[in-house]
Structure 1
Amino acid sequence: MFLAFIHGFMLALGPILPLGAQNIFVFNQGTHARKLTDVLAAVLAASFCDTLLILLAATGASLLAFSFPVIQNLFLTAGIIFLIWIGCSIWKNTEAHQETDNGRLPAKKQITFALSVSLLNPHAILDTVGVIGTSALRYSGPEKWTFVAACISVSWVWFFVLALSGHGIGKITNGPQALRLINRLSALLIWGIAAFVAVGLIRSLSG
């Protein structure tokens, strides 16, 4: 079981470390947080969503759903739309800090955004299904759930570390100009991810 845990832990690092909408959003909220508890809603929501996706992938439910191209294409389309919306919301919050006096989203909106970038994020879901879901098929019984627990633990630790890193950078660059730049870069990166997914979807449809 120890080897299953190490395998799950190392494997889960691959999909979660690259720059993605989830990471950008949690980090962005961390930079605007006056204290770590201010970003707790985003961290918990993202962690719970990853836990759900990993459980669905490990049990084979998501693999079955994504075996149908129509479902996958519809999901990708919805994901692109939501990524564009999230980018616009972050950019808008740059122009006028209307959510709070420092640009941080309130807890309810943190949860809404985290749910969107987690459950409607094509990269996050396809990576979870393709990488973790297929690897989980190698295990059964206690070893399988040890593997799953390791994957889940990576998500929880990573999002807390990401929020902490953003909070630290926010303190160093504490100022409206710096925070405005962080917001704009976050929005541009999320739009870039949406464009990348859109290009892949167009190619698959045309092929």
Structure 2
Amino acid sequence: MIGVIVHGFILALGLILPLGVQNVFVFNQGAVQPRFIKALPVMITASLCDTLLISLAVLGVSVVVLEYEWIRTVLFSLGICFLVYMGRVTWESKPSGQAQEETRSFTPKKQIVFAMSVSLLNPHAVLDTIGVIGTSSLQYTGIDKVVFAVVCIAVSWLWFLGLGIAGRTAGRMDPSGKWLSTLNRISALIMWGIAGYLGVSLILS
């Protein structure tokens, strides 16, 4: 059980850390909103969208992949390639503090609509959940699979909450964005590590 929890935690954290459109939007709203509570709509919406995607991946894709071995192989391969590519892009990216300054605080309605669009219409999110989290859940059954999914979802909720808090804190400190570069490097290393783990699982399966 401990192994399942650790696997779900590391996998979800490695996938959610890269500062893409979704994360940047949550971070920026946390930074520019006059009060922390006013940034809750974007954090809750992003978390709910991830909960939906993870649940569909774990509950739905598993059935199809278990029936066709070639689909499982393809999904694992796509997940590995995606992680390697995103790790490289994340490593080389250089966040700019100007993005925070240019972002205006959105109303609750605009926060919800925009958060839904960057979460559910993001092809990277689909690859993350179906190609990586969904296929990774195939090695578990019963309560282990439930725990794996719950841990991944919990990481998502905690991450977006923490991201909003970090945005509010950063908004009142040096907005240079230099610390984001360090975060991206760490994220890239985690993603490459998970790609290696998936590769070993594919070979040994």
- Deviating above 2 A after TM superposition, structure 1's stretches of 4 or more consecutive aligned residues are 60-64
Report the AA paired with residue 154 of structure 1.
Answer: V
Deviation digits for residues 152-189 of structure 1, max 9, x if unmatched? 0110010011111111111226xxxx7xx99xxxxxxx
Deviation digits for residues 6-62 of structure 1, max 9, x if unmatched? 111111111101121110110111111122101000000000000000001101349
Match in the other structure for 1:156: 157
Structure 1 residues 143 and 63: alpha-carbon distance in aligned structure 2, compared to 1, 3 A threshold: closer
State the Cα distance separating 1:127 from its structure 2 match: 1.3
The 1-side partners of 2:16 and 2:110 are apart by 23
Task: Trace 1:1-207 onto structure 2 (pairs within 5 A).
Answer: 1-61=1-61, 94=102, 103-172=104-173
Q: CA RMSD in A?
A: 2.5
The 2-side partners of 1:124 and 1:19 are apart by 13
Structure 1 residues 116 and 63: alpha-carbon distance in aligned structure 2, compared to 1, 3 A threshold: farther
The 2-side partners of 1:52 and 1:151 are apart by 12
Report the AA paired with residue 173 of structure 2.
Answer: I
Identity between Structure 1 and Structure 2 (%): 51
| Contact 1:15–1:124 (8 Å) recurs in 2 | no
| Count of aligned pairs | 144
Report the AA paired with residue 11 of structure 1.
Answer: L
Structure 2's unaligned 5+ residue stretches are 65-70, 72-98, 178-205
| Contact 2:61–2:130 (8 Å) recurs in 1 | no
| Contact 1:56–1:62 (8 Å) recurs in 2 | no
Which secondary structure does the structure 2 equivalent of 1:171 belong to? coil
TM-score by length of 2: 0.64
State the Cα distance separating 1:2 from its structure 2 match: 2.3
The 2-side partners of 1:62 and 1:166 are apart by 36
| Contact 1:58–1:133 (8 Å) recurs in 2 | yes
